[in-house]
């Protein structure tokens, strides 16, 4: 006697679950109106702690150029979604990355 099991990977449902999870880590007022790309970036940073431009470029293949990905990350920094960690004493920091800002309260009610 043998038993055959078929596992299916429901990518659509997994994506909805992962994308909705970001609201637990950033204030609701910042989470509203996020693009799909911004949500994916935030989920990656939540899961791994940081992201650099090359990792983001691999994460978002629909964005064709490295420079466009960098612009996306810098816009997210301007919105207060990310912090750009880099050295100021060199022009191109190979260790530069983007991280979540420190928050005193995850509901967006910072003191």
Whether 67 has a pLDDT exceeding 80, the answer reads yes
Question: Would residue 108 count as lying in a domain?
Answer: no
Question: Would residue 82 count as lying in a domain?
Answer: yes
Question: Would residue 90 count as lying in a domain?
Answer: yes
> How many domains does the chain fold into?
1
Question: What is the reported pLDDT for 89?
Answer: 92
**For the segment 7-65, what is each residue's pLDDT rounded down to a tens digit?**
665 555 444 445 556 777 887 787 788 898 999 999 999 889 999 999 999 999 999 99
Question: Would residue 51 count as lying in a domain?
Answer: yes
CATH number for position 71: 1.10.10.10
Question: Would residue 111 count as lying in a domain?
Answer: no
Residues in contact with 90: Cβ distance below 8 Å, sequence separation at least 6, in sequence order: none
**Average pLDDT value for residue range 71-75:** 97
Question: Would residue 12 count as lying in a domain?
Answer: no
């Amino acid at each position: 006697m043998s038993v055959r099991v078929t596992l299916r990977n429901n990518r659509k449902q997994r994506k909805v679950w992962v994308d909705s999870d970001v609201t637990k880590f950033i204030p609701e007022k910042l989470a509203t109106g996020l693009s799909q790309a911004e949500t994916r970036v935030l989920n990656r940073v939540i899961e791994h702690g940081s992201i650099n431009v090359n990792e983001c470029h691999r994460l978002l293949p629909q964005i064709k150029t490295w420079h466009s990905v960098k612009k996306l990350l810098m816009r997210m920094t301007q919105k207060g979604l990310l912090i750009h960690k880099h050295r100021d004493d060199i022009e191109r920091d190979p260790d530069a990355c983007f991280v979540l800002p420190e928050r005193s309260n995850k509901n967006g009610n910072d003191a």
